[in-house]
Amino acid sequence: MMAEEQEVAFERLLRQGGDRVLREASDYFAGAGWLYGAVRRLVQQLDAEDIPYGLLGGLAVAKHGYPRLTEDIGLLMTPSGLDRFRQQLVGRGYQPAFDGAQKTFRDTETGVRIEIVTAGEYPGDGLPKPVAFPDPMAPGVTVEIEDLHGGRPWRAQLEGRFFEAAGRALERAFGVRPLICGEGGSIPIVVEFEEILKAPAVLMGFALPGCNAHAPNEWLSVENFETGIRAIAAFYDEL
Instruction: Tell me the residue range of the domain where 28 lies.
Output: 3-118
Residue 214 binned pLDDT confidence (cut-offs 50, 70, 90):
confident
pLDDT of 56 above 80: yes
Helix axis angle, 19-29 relative to 33-48, nearest 10°? 50
Q: Is residue 134 part of a domain?
A: no
Average pLDDT over residues 175-179: 90
Domain boundary among 118, 148, 172: 118
Q: Is residue 153 part of a domain?
A: no
Residues 180 and 77 occupy one common structural domain: no
| 2: three-class secondary structure by DSSP | coil
Q: Is residue 151 part of a domain?
A: no
- d(Cα 231, Cα 215) in Å, to the nearest integer? 25
The tens digit of pLDDT for each residue in 136-154 reads: 988 766 767 787 877 788 8
Closest CA to 111 of 1, 6, 3, 4: 6
Q: What is the CATH number of the domain that holds 19?
A: 3.30.460
For residues 106 and 112, the answer to whether their CB atoms sit within 8 Å is yes
- Give the model's pLDDT for residue 146: 80
Q: Is residue 135 part of a domain?
A: no
Residue 118 binned pLDDT confidence (cut-offs 50, 70, 90):
very high
Average pLDDT over residues 69-74: 90
Q: What is the CATH number of the domain that holds 192?
A: 1.10.150
Domain boundary among 118, 153, 170: 118
Residues 184 and 92 occupy one common structural domain: no
- Give the model's pLDDT for residue 184: 62
Give φ, ψ of 15 to 5 degrees.
-70, -15
- Pairing status of strand 54-56 against strand 104-107: unpaired
Give φ, ψ of 226 to 5 degrees.
-70, -40
- d(Cα 42, Cα 46) in Å, to the nearest integer? 6
Average pLDDT over residues 75-101: 95
Residues 32 and 110 occupy one common structural domain: yes
Burial 208-219 (b: 16+ CB within 10 A, else e): bbbbeeeeeeee
Domain boundary among 118, 138, 171: 118
Residues 30 and 110 occupy one common structural domain: yes
Query: What totals of helices (H) and strands (E) does the chain contain, helices first?
Result: 8, 5
For residues 184 and 68, the answer to whether their CB atoms sit within 8 Å is yes
Q: What is the DSSP string of 106-158?
A: EETTT--EEEEEETTPPSTT----S--PPPTT-S-------------------
- Give the model's pLDDT for residue 3: 35
The tens digit of pLDDT for each residue in 7-50 reads: 457 888 787 777 888 888 888 888 888 999 999 999 999 999 99
Q: Is residue 33 part of a domain?
A: yes
Q: What percent of the chain has pLDDT above 90?
A: 47
Residues 15 and 95 occupy one common structural domain: yes
- d(Cα 182, Cα 180) in Å, to the nearest integer? 7
Q: Is residue 155 part of a domain?
A: no
Q: Is residue 125 part of a domain?
A: no
- Give the bridge partners for 76, in sequence order: 54, 117
Residues 96 and 177 occupy one common structural domain: no
Q: Pick 238 or 31 by higher pLDDT.
A: 238
Distance of CA 94 to the CA centre of its chain: 21
Residues 12 and 105 occupy one common structural domain: yes
Residue 5 binned pLDDT confidence (cut-offs 50, 70, 90):
very low
- Give the model's pLDDT for residue 207: 87
Q: Is residue 129 part of a domain?
A: no
Q: Pick 56 or 13 by higher pLDDT.
A: 56
Residues 98 and 201 occupy one common structural domain: no
Give φ, ψ of 12 to 5 degrees.
-70, -35
pLDDT of 1 above 70: no
Average pLDDT, the chain: 87
Number of domains in the chain: 2
Average pLDDT over residues 114-124: 93
Residues 114 and 168 occupy one common structural domain: no
